[in-house]
Structure 1
Amino acid sequence: MQVRHLLLIAILAFTTACSSKHVVDENLSETELYQQAQADLDTRNYGSAIAKLKALESRYPFGRYAEQAQLELIYAYYKNVEPEAAKSSADRFIRLHPQHPSVDYAYYLKGLASFDQDRGLVARFVPLDMTKRDPGAARDSYNEFAQLTSRFPNSRYAPDAKQRMIYLRNLLAAYEVHVGQYYLTRNAYVAAANRGRYVVENFQETPAVGDGLALMVEAYQRLTLDDLAATSLETLKLNYPDHPSITTGQFVPRERGDEDRSWLAKATLGLIETDTPLPPGETRASQDVIRQYEDAEQQIPRELMGEEPQTKKRSWFSYLTFGLFD
């Protein structure tokens, strides 16, 4: 099975899920509604479970299962990949039941919803570098887990939340480094130095601190701030002697200086580099798409690929459209 077949299957499954209507019998009692919702959760029929839990809450707002239904509705939304609905339901539960014995679970699910918000169907097949994506959801998740661990340090969910916070902190630090490196490519050396310093000052004990120092060294060197560059370099050598930017005791800049760049690269602020000529009809963007496509294809399990032979070489336009217009 080719990638385009998988894509079409995913689109059809998504369309079917969105178009399906879950009708809840109006004659069901409170207990029957709750039991059927539990059965749906057990069979991972989360859409149906959501409909029954919402019906239970609206029909029996003061019943014996009302609070539990609100709590399990958060979980059902989370498992149904509806992060905004899950977070909204969690906020509502926390506001209505701040002293509930399971309110820590609402905080935990809220953090999980943000944690998984960027990880959808595409991420299962396409290798995405999370450190280069918008960190908004990661920052929200970190703050929500921080609330959980500070308010409920003895919660059963606190150890897992702390481990996720370590990962998220490393992710946020690496994102700041990527932004700094982008500034370097655009000759925005003051901004690059500030990003590097921000990482060093605010993300201690993360793997990105060495990269932050290297950013500072390179940016200060470009700005001819020799004292600051030397101080940053000594700190880098002392704490990260094996950093990739240090070769035989010397600092190797990541980016080329303006004197080493072509006139086209200078005129376009590095958006167009001309190290090697492009084949006719191709662009750097099309090459990147082809590379990403091929990388993603390699990640798909062989048993899903089938044995369909490739009979002809595909054009870059075919790759861009996932073969839908072949």
Structure 2
Amino acid sequence: MKKTLLTALFITSFSLTGCSTLNSLIEKPDAEKSVEDFYSAATLAFKNKEWDVAIDNYEKLKAYFPYGSYAEQSYLELAYAYYKYDEPKSAIRELEEFIRLYPRHKEMPYAYYLRALAADSVTRSWLDKFITDPATRDKVSAENAYNFYSELINRFPQSRYATAASERLIALRNQMARNELKVARFYYSKQAFLASANRAEYILQNYPRAVVTAEALELLTDSYQKMGMDVNESHAREVYQLNQGRLQSN
């Protein structure tokens, strides 16, 4: 996140005056603090990655001084602090309020991107690299992140965040397709072949370029076979074999 000029000035000032400045801010009752007091304490905690302290001071700043440039800047910094503090819903709330209040703000592309990142964080875990699959988690969260990234790209296609957003759209599309495939296979295992066929068709229609396309086609073929739908099975098998041939040629 970019540091504001005010943040830089405060950090420089703090390094010269020592901890006594921060101590005086802590000891002063909230009702007696100025907007500068709250913002200075918040930005120092932000710099030190003390997200809970930063959140507390940003929230108090907004409560005591809801208008003006300090409050305006606090929305983005507070949202980022919530995001880093693993409270994505609070981050999204702050960003949507910021988007509503300041639609012409120069940092609007960043606000949209951070909102998508916050929603996306719900679909991720550090365990994904080892034992878990994000496709097993709530699909609604993935859809929210997907929609937020899409909105960013549609509104700000030339922004510095568009490329990263496009890459995440591909990953999320594959993730949601895998989620659908897991459900389809579950139905198949329960001999609910019509339900598994419908799910497989949904994958092909909504995620045509997903990495599980071939697997969805195979499951669709098997489901039709189990139901004795010979014409549908023949057509699905033909498409599956064609798809396999293309994969091998690539």
Structure 1 residue 59 corresponds to structure 2 residue 45: no
Determine if the alignment matches structure 1 residue 155 to structure 2 residue 156. no
Structure 2 counterpart of 1:159, one-letter code: T
Name the structure 2 match of 1:96: 101
Aligned identity (percent) is 34
**1:221-236 residue pairs with structure 2 within 5 A?**
221-236=225-240
Tell me, in whole angstroms, the C-alpha distance in 2 between the residues paired with 1:186 and 1:30. Answer: 62
Change (3 A) 1:242 1:147: closer
Q: Which amino acid aligns with 1:32?
A: D
Contact 1:30-1:63 at 8 Å conserved across structures: no
Q: 2:88 aligns with which of 83, 87, 92?
A: 83
Q: Which residue in 1 is equivalent to 2:110?
A: 105
Greater relative CO (CA pairs within 8 A, separation 6+): 1
Report the equivalent of 1:39: 44
**Alignment equivalent of 1:173, drawn from 146, 171, 177:** 177
Question: Are 2:192 and 1:188 aligned?
Answer: yes
Contact 2:123–2:138 at 8 Å: present in 1 too?
no
C-alpha separation between the residues in 2 aligned to 1:120 and 1:239? 33
Q: Could you tell me which amino acid in structure 2 is paired with residue 105 of structure 1? A: Y
Q: Which amino acid aligns with 1:189?
A: F
- Aligned partner letter, 1:84: K
Q: 1:78 to 1:98 in 2, by over 3 A?
A: same
SS at match of 2:237: helix
CA distance in 1, matches of 2:197, 2:184: 7
TM-score w.r.t. structure 2 length?
A: 0.82
- Structure 1 pair 192–24 and aligned structure 2 pair: CA distance change class (3 A): farther
Aligned partner of 1:215 among 201, 213, 219:
219
Q: Is the 8 A contact 1:24 1:52 kept in 2?
A: no
Give distance in 1, aligned partners of 2:117 and 2:28. 29
Question: CA-to-partner distance for each residue in 1:279-323, whole Å, 9 max, x for gaps?
Answer: xxxxxxxxxxxxxxxxxxxxxxxxxxxxxxxxxxxxxxxxxxxxx
Q: Report the Cα distance in structure 2 between the residues aligned to 1:88 and 1:23, rounded to whole angstroms.
A: 31
Maintained 8 Å contact 1:220/1:226: yes
Pairing partner for 2:202 from 195, 198, 223 = 198
Query: Structure 2: any 5+ residue segments left out of the alignment?
Result: 1-25
CA 1:131 to 1:151, structure 2 compared with 1: closer, same or farther past 3 Å? same
* CA root-mean-square deviation: 2.1
Q: Which ranges in structure 1 are unaligned for 5 or more consecutive residues?
A: 1-21, 244-326
User: Where do 1:258-297 residues align within 5 Å?
Assistant: none
CA contact (8 A) 1:74 1:90 kept: yes
Deviations 1:67-107 (A, max 9, x none): 10011111111110001111111111111111211122221
Q: 1:134 corresponds to which letter in structure 2?
A: D
Matched pairs, number: 221
Matches within 5 A, 1:5-16: none
CA distance, structure 2, for counterparts of residue 85 and residue 95 of structure 1: 15
1:25 Cα deviation after fit? 4.6
The code of the aligned residue for 1:155 comes to: S
Contact 1:83-1:114 at 8 Å conserved across structures:
yes
Alignment deviations for residues 162-207 of structure 1 (CA, whole Å, 9 cap, x no partner): 1111100000011111111111001111111111111111111111
